[in-house]
Amino acid sequence: MGTERILYPCYFNSTLTRAEGRRIPKALALKSPKIQDIERAARKIGISGAVIEPNSHPAHWLHREGRLRLSWEGSKESLIRKIAKNIPEKQ
């Protein structure tokens, strides 16, 4: 079992700066990422047991975007990049 990780949609949002919460390069980011797309991408890379929760990022608490809780063995940054590369590009 890996370490528990929490992912928020703001990590993948191209409209935010790094200081505002984006954690990936703009080239991999989406305009308005949905928590369901992030969860689908996690399943696509073989992560099962990911849970969508209604909680929001503390800095973006008004947006009510939700968060994804999952288990991952590696670094959080490697997880975020791997998921970003697998999020559907329909936006």
* Distance between CA atoms of residues 21 and 90, nearest Å: 22
Residue 58 lies in a domain: yes
Q: Write down the mean pLDDT value for the chain.
A: 92
Ranges assigned E (strand) in 8-76: 51-53, 67-72
Closest CA to 23 of 39, 6, 41: 6
Here the CATH number for the domain that contains residue 34 is 3.30.56.30
Give the global pTM: 0.90
- 3-state secondary structure (DSSP) of residue 77: helix
Say whether pLDDT at 76 is over 90.
yes
Tell me the per-residue pLDDT of 19-55, one tens digit each, with 9 for 90 and over.
Answer: 999 999 999 999 989 999 999 999 999 998 999 999 9
pLDDT confidence bin for 8, thresholds 50/70/90: very high
Identify the domain containing residue 38 by its residue range: 3-84
- Do the domain assignments include residue 74? yes
- Residue-level pLDDT at 91: 45
Q: How many domains, in total, are found in the chain? A: 1
